[in-house]
Structure 1
Amino acid sequence: MKLHANVIGEGKPFLILHGFLGMSDNWKTLGKEFADAGYQVHLIDQRNHGRSLHSEEFNYLLLAKDVKEYIDTHSLENCILLGHSMGGKTAMMTASLFPHVVDKLIVVDISPKYYAPHHQQILEGLKAIDDASLTSRGDAEDLLAEYIKEKGVRLFLLKNLYWKSKEKLGLRLNLEVLIKEIEAIGEALPSDKTFNKPTLFIKGEKSGYIKKEDEALIASHFSSSEIVGIPGAGHWVHAENKKAFYDAIMRFL
């Protein structure tokens, strides 16, 4: 099995895909809330992230096929599929390629358009950690602070740390491949890919990822879509205004 997942609760399957450099653990708190609301929540690590398969290949077609294989392996039907950022791109691709397995689609703070690479500073910081043979989490945070000012972003990235051996910390990410394939992260959804079942786009009102001019493009790919803004939230919408985010999803469902 290529994809590792934590499954919580019983009910209609609700699959959650994290963003670039994230992992399923980032969604644990919200996952529990969705499970309490009566869903079987699948918190999935995508390829080259978390505990899932590390591979030399990395693109949205493969990521979507990974999700479809996961759905088939677990005999899931009529799934709700949610993806944040990179996970949103995977979710869009999955829903457009395999619409028969997706009942409703939720895309968080990303549009179908092309995005130029913009994670260089973060990747340099992670590479420095990877190269440094660190023996304490504190040292890792100090080193990362030289590259990334925002403490919240550092703490999010440091979730990837684990003890490779008794003495040495490592990263769960396949960093080498993610650096090599950085262009693939920003790829646009191909213009012929569409999905006509209910779709919710959620944007952080302080985030620049979904702009006014993206609305026509979104509608051209997703004919039954709506866009909801979450006040006071940037790109990490689900962390920055969790209650409004949760409420918007439950209204949609």
Structure 2
Amino acid sequence: MWQWVKNLWVSSCPRISPIRDVDSSPVTLRSNRPRTLPLSYRLLDGLDTLPPVVFLHGLFSNKNIFQAEAEALALETGRKVLTVDARNHGESPHSPDCSYEAMSADLQVLLSKLGLTPCVLIGHSMGGKTAMMLALQKPELVDRLVSVDISPLVAKDMPNIFKIIPAMKSANIPGNLSHSQVSKIFDEHLKPFVKDSSIRQYLFNSLVQTNGQYVWKVNAENLWQQKEQFLDKLQIQGVYPGPTLFLTNHNSPFVPSSHYPKIKLLFPEARFQTIPDAGHIIHIKKPQEFMDSILNFLS
């Protein structure tokens, strides 16, 4: 059923308009906390009796990357499902503060305004670290936690994902082409720099048509300047005692098995599941296995 929904969504493009946070001014949680920004989001309605699900995208992406999964999950479980653009990504505002603490603070304000706590947080890569930060800061806001191919620690051989910024910024694609033409041109442009086709597909998600040309909707300059923050371990003390799933690729450089004991100290109920040949973008390369894992964890 979920694969049918995904195919329908891909062929017809998203039909659900973003429901934006109407307050356009930054909000401060407390004087010693980061200034928060109003995030762009989509909310699919569902039952109030079940904890809602919140998808958090990875670095260089946006909320659309999880839209097919969100629609399928809402259909199959009846839950409310939220997809969100992180600051400096998609349609959310930009800020020089790219810290995980700031992104967690943004999300806390949004969840509170929408009345979506406690919720199930599902975060990929950067989104996974944001989800872990929030769960460690405010465990009462999180019913369950899923981290997709990312650890709260630093992997020594983690790939340098920031090397793709020059390649993305150099893409020059006219806006008068069809979706399939743009996809083909973009894929050919990135091939010399990004060998994994699933990662190229992931990056294509952030191209948008603006003023007659396709542009990359990511604040690359700020992200580049603070790139060390994205690769560093989470700078927080705390424990999240709720059910936690670390969903990883087999032999993932982002979540090496050497991290497992320290992860269990932060997330004592953590369990680890690997999906063979899934790459870092598990939800693109192995979509059915990804959804099966999420549904099993929720049940």
Please confirm whether the aligned pair reaches a TM-score higher than 0.5, indicating the same fold.
yes
Query: How do residues 68-107 of structure 1 correspond to structure 2 at under 5 angstroms?
Result: 68-107=108-147
Q: Residue 178 of structure 1 aligns to a residue in which SS?
A: helix
Q: Residue 200 of structure 1 aligns to a residue in which SS?
A: strand
Give the equivalent residue in structure 2 for 1:144: 190
| Distance in 2 of aligned mates of 1:153 and 1:38 | 30
**Residue pair 2:151, 2:259 contacting (<8 A) in 1 also:** yes
Q: Which is further off, 243-252 or 79-88?
A: 243-252
| Distance in 2 of aligned mates of 1:102 and 1:62 | 18
**Residue pair 2:248, 2:272 contacting (<8 A) in 1 also:** yes
Distance 1:163 1:247, change over 3 A: closer
Q: Residue 39 of structure 1 aligns to a residue in which SS?
A: coil
Q: Structure 2: where are the runs of 5+ without partners?
A: 1-20, 22-37
1:215 paired to 2:257? no
Give the equivalent residue in structure 1 for 2:164: 122
1:3 paired to 2:49? no
Distance 1:235 1:133, change over 3 A: closer
Q: Residue 250 of structure 1 aligns to a residue in which SS?
A: helix
Specify the code of the residue in structure 2 equivalent to 1:178: L
- Indicate the percent of aligned positions where both proteins have the same amino acid: 29
Give the equivalent residue in structure 2 for 1:54: 94
Query: How do residues 220-239 of structure 1 correspond to structure 2 at under 5 angstroms?
Result: 220-239=265-284
**Deviation readout 1:49-81 (Å, 9 max, x if unpaired):** 111111121110001001101101112222111
| Distance in 2 of aligned mates of 1:143 and 1:230 | 29
Q: Find 1:29's aligned residue among 45, 53, 68.
A: 68
| Distance in 1 of aligned mates of 2:81 and 2:61 | 17
How many residue pairs end up in the alignment?
250
- Shift in Å at residue 107 of structure 1? 0.8
Q: Residue 20 of structure 1 aligns to a residue in which SS?
A: coil
Give the equivalent residue in structure 2 for 1:13: 52
Distance 1:139 1:93, change over 3 A: same
Give the equivalent residue in structure 2 for 1:170: 215
| Distance in 2 of aligned mates of 1:117 and 1:155 | 18
Q: Residue 143 of structure 1 aligns to a residue in which SS?
A: helix
Distance 1:215 1:248, change over 3 A: same
1:186 paired to 2:224? no
| Distance in 2 of aligned mates of 1:162 and 1:145 | 20
Q: Residue 111 of structure 1 aligns to a residue in which SS?
A: coil
Q: Structure 1: where are the runs of 5+ without partners?
A: none
- Shift in Å at residue 9 of structure 1? 3.6
**Deviation readout 1:80-117 (Å, 9 max, x if unpaired):** 11101110000000111111211111111111102467
Over the aligned positions, Cα root-mean-square deviation in angstroms equals: 1.9
